[in-house]
Amino acid sequence: MKKKLFLLALSCMVLSSCMTTKIPHLVGNYTFTTSIETDKSFDEVWDKVIDYFAMNGIPISILEKASGLIVSNKVSLKNNVTMEKDGKLLDDKAFVVIPYAKNVVYINVTSDFNIRVKKQNGKVSISVNLPNMVAERTVKPTGFQIVSTPQEIEAKSTGVFESGLLNLLK
């Protein structure tokens, strides 16, 4: 009888460690500008963009001056993540927002990152985008959980990164 109870308890612990929880959707509406125009020349802006990538050690996967496109893949944003609780950001300077969760011990966020510089109507347009954002969080195990595996969760840009970079490049 003791052996059956032990096996039942062990099964419950193992099964509960593999359970997933439903992640609430973000409720905030984060609208922001992803492009601006400047009176600077295309070459001036292009040089600033290249300098930004070089000075920050951001790897470039696509570099096409003719189209004005620079792309970097899977840039880590893990040090610039905040949570949203009751519709408000816990850190309004963070680049990325995820839903609130107690006992989060690790958050990993990566995103592709691109800048497009183009001549348009006698001015130069600069666009900054963070497409293909992927976020995972690990929550401190509770109760009978033995291991907490990373969970893919919803993440959105707050616009802080795009706004800051646009102001730097204009």
Q: What is the largest CA-CA distance in the chain?
A: 84
Which amino acid, one-letter code, is at 89? L
Contact 134, 151 (CB under 8 A): no
Contact 88, 121 (CB under 8 A): no
The pTM is what?
Answer: 0.76
Query: Alpha-carbon distance 17 to 9, whole Å?
Result: 12
- Which range marks the domain in which residue 151 is found? 2-169
Tell me the sheet residues that pair with 135: 109, 153
What is the per-residue pLDDT for 20?
Answer: 35
Q: How many domains does the chain have?
A: 1
CB hemisphere CA count around 160 (13 angstroms): 14
**Full pLDDT tens readout for the chain, 170 residues:** 544 443 433 333 333 333 333 344 454 666 788 899 999 999 999 999 999 999 999 999 999 999 999 999 999 988 899 988 888 889 999 999 988 888 887 789 999 999 999 999 899 999 999 999 999 988 777 666 666 678 888 889 999 999 999 999 99
